[in-house]
Structure 1
Amino acid sequence: CGDQRTKSTSVLYQFPSKTMNTTSCEEISFDFPKKFLPPVYILVFIVGLAANGWGLKSLWHNWKKLGDVNVFVLNLGLADILYLLTLPFLMVYYFNGRKWIFGDVFCKVTRFCFNLNLYCSIGFLTCISVYRYLAIVHPMRAMGRLTVSRSVIISVMVWILVSIQSLPDTFFPKTPSNMTEKCFDTTSDEYVEDYLKYSFSWTLIGFGIPSLITLGCYGHVIAFLCCKDNTDELLKQRSLKLLIILILLFLICYIPYHVFKNLNLWSRVLFKQRICQKWTNGIYIAHRISRGLVSLNSALNPLVYLHVNEDISARLRQLLQRFRQAAIQLSINTQTLVTLIQNGGGYLQVEAAE
């Protein structure tokens, strides 16, 4: 799982610290990911594939109406699908007792797809935020500039930039030197110091700066809409809902992952230097939980579709209305059938008595 400090969860290590005091290392619960991650991956795979597939299908049917923001929504869905297709291999990995049977190259491909999905999602959410900010707060300046062709160019640039940021990760070893059946999401302990530096800069560029831009844009949009007296109430509600969805995505998926990932790498560096901390095991478990939570972004991103694309929202409302009508009709038919059976039973009893 990107951590090879010990092979057992029942061993306490003792290292001499720099002050010559003896420090006991708390045991690491390496069995936790095998129990927690597979159910999460199964849920994300089923829900994410269904939701993103339906969303992309709706965009395909409305291709002629494809607007500037919808180009980013389309790319957001494609990034999610790319990651979701790698989840079955990770399920096999954890169900098989963390034994990777698909080779080192495909291990790096799987991890690369995860990083590509994560940071492309953040990038396209940032693009959507900037476009909506310009369209609402500066409509005159944005008029004629927010075109489909420019959206396509920006999308290609996002894919390229994220690929460049993620590419160095593939050069770090994903298996320890003494084991070939592992697939680390970071790297082995031999290179953990260098990976921590890379991860910290990656977090700052790939997550920190886009997050500030995204939240800043929507914060300004909400403030702008609330200050205007003649604001469309529907537009205000949609913008507020989208801001809440983005805040939830960042609070649930993105922030915990980046915080605990870097803390876990730091704890591994300290462990390698024979410095043990009481919080090491807690950070490891928190990182594994955040690893599961960050994969939820592929299942939660379709919520953005509903508040960006009006056609998809309308189609969903129609679909829900049909389900509701079908459920009501089924209930009526069931009650009618029960009544007929009861009446028929009484009639048969009367005839039998005669």
Structure 2
Amino acid sequence: MTVNCTSVNFAFTHQFLPTVYVTVFILGLLGNGFGLKSVYDNWQKIGNVNIFVLNLCLADILYIFTLPFLVTYYALDSRWIFGSVFCKIVRFCFCINLYGSIGFLTCISVYRYLGIVHPLRFKGRITERHSAIITLLVWFLVFLQCLPDLFFEKNNADQVKSCFDTTSDHLIEKYLKYSIGRTVVGFGIPLVIMLCCYGHVAFTLLTKKETDVILKLRCLRLVVILTLLFSICFIPYHVFRNYNLVTRISKYKGICQKWYSNIYIANQIGNGLACLNSAINPLVYLFNNDELLMKCFMRCGRVYQTPSVSMSPTGQFLRNTTA
């Protein structure tokens, strides 16, 4: 059953997104600042993965510095006062951060997979130079993936002060095709790669009894944080973003459903959740480094509750054999 198309109620967006952006700005700035310091202090201890962690941190900081402008935009009831060019730059930075994060998290997952499932075959063969080349390739692919977004209009003729995260109504069908392609290449393929990597890693850890318990715990930590990132930040964003584009096309053609407004709300929640990845990513820096994790335990006083655990000079947890 169709109903008459009505204008979108932006009240929820104007209340929800500024709150999320302010929270992410504060937590993300602190967390990624800590992340940069930890990478610098432990450059030699966390292996070739450190290059990916560093670039993950830089991608977050790039986006975090655009958040004050978005807070201003939504606080002014979706009125953009910084010019159309800068609007596209801000939306482009979000795209770069989102898919750059997914790309580098995928690289970290593959490196973990190679180190656990094929340790002898690849030990010493993957150098920092290889990691640097892979990093440049990730940035290049992400740039190509996000570049078309710069060529889509970010406002309607009757809303010249808007700054859409997608595009104007008359270009929405073309944008949907681009968005689906971006979802498949930038999200779907990395998701499949990570599922395959950690599926094989889990099988290896479960079937090899001689595998060190501490190694299992380290992998479990990373699996948990990546599952958290994808479940909370990335999946809802891509599902509801494309679904909302479909409803916009339908409304543009004069066909509306009552539940379209619910899809719009879900899409805005997805936008907020996607932004949260910049605040959650610092957990990767923490959980990727045993020494940092141990220091956190010490500051929390938890180290005194686990006297059977000590730490090696290389930053790995060891069991204390003398009780």
* Structure 2 residue 200 is the aligned partner of structure 1 residue 220: yes
Q: Which amino acid aligns with 2:144?
A: I
CA distance in 2, matches of 1:78, 1:89: 19
Q: Is 1:234 matched up with 2:214?
A: yes
**Counterparts of residues 175-194 of structure 1 (less than 5 Å):** 175-194=155-174
| Cross-structure match for 2:321 | none
Contact kept in structure 1, 2:38 and 2:285, CA below 8 Å: no
Residue type of the alignment partner of 2:179: S
The verdict on how the C-alpha distance between 1:233 and 1:64 changes in structure 2, with shifts beyond 3 A counting, is closer
Number of the residue aligned with 1:335: none
Mapped to 1, the partners of 2:136 and 2:296 lie a distance apart of: 29
The aligned counterpart of 1:302 is 282
Q: Which residue of 1 aligns with 2:316?
A: none
CA distance in 1, matches of 2:226, 2:41: 26
Note if contact 2:35-2:282 (Cα within 8 Å) is conserved in structure 1: yes
Q: Which residue of 2 aligns with 1:290?
A: 270
1:86 aligns with 2:56: no
User: For residues 144-223 of structure 1, what are the structure 2 equivalents within 5 Å?
Assistant: 144-223=124-203
- Structure 1 Cα separation of the partners of residues 14 and 300 of structure 2: 37
TM-score with structure 2 setting the length: 0.90
**2:94 alignment partner AA:** F
Q: Of 239, 244, 256, which aligns to 2:236? A: 256
Contact 2:92 2:150 in 1 (8 A): yes
Amino acid at match of 1:282: N
SS of residue in 1 equivalent to 2:4:
strand
> Residue 25 of structure 1: SS of its match in structure 2?
coil
**Residues 55 and 302, structure 1, Cα contact 8 Å, conserved in 2:** yes
Give TM-score scaled by structure 1 length.
0.82
- Contact map agreement 1:261 1:287 (CA 8 A) in 2: yes
Which deviations, in whole Å up to 9, do the C-alpha atoms of 1:12-43 show, x marking residues without a partner?
A: xxxxxxxxx97333663222100111111111
Choose the corresponding residue for 2:100, options 96, 120, 129: 120
Please tell me whether the aligned partners of residues 25 and 278 of structure 1 are also in contact (alpha carbons under 8 angstroms). Answer: no
Which runs of structure 1 show a deviation greater than 4 angstroms over 4 or more consecutive aligned residues?
none
CA contact (8 A) 2:64 2:278 kept: yes
Counterpart in 1 of 2:313?
A: none
Per-residue CA shift, 1:282-333, capped at 9, x if unaligned? 10000001100110000001111122223432343344449x9xxxxxxxxx
Q: Report the equivalent of 1:46.
A: 26
Q: Check whether the contact 1:56–1:77 (CA below 8 A) recurs between aligned residues.
A: yes
Structure 2 CA distance for aligned equivalents of residues 122 and 214 of structure 1:
10
Q: Is the 8 A contact 1:25 1:276 kept in 2?
A: yes
| Counterparts of 1:196 and 1:230, CA distance in 2 | 50
CA distance in structure 2 between the aligned counterparts of 1:316 and 1:59, rounded to whole angstroms: 16
Provide the rounded CA distance (Å) in 2 between the counterparts of 1:42 and 1:75: 23
Stretches of structure 1 lacking an aligned partner (at least 5 in a row): 1-20, 325-354
**Gaps spanning 5+ residues in structure 2: where?**
305-323
8 Å contact from structure 2 (residues 2, 257) kept in 1? no
Indicate the percent of aligned positions where both proteins have the same amino acid. Answer: 56
Identify the match of residue 14 of structure 2 among 27, 34, 38: 34
CA 319–106 in structure 1, closer or farther in 2 if over 3 Å, else same: farther
Q: Specify the alignment match of 2:123 in structure 1.
A: 143
Mapped to 1, the partners of 2:114 and 2:6 lie a distance apart of 52
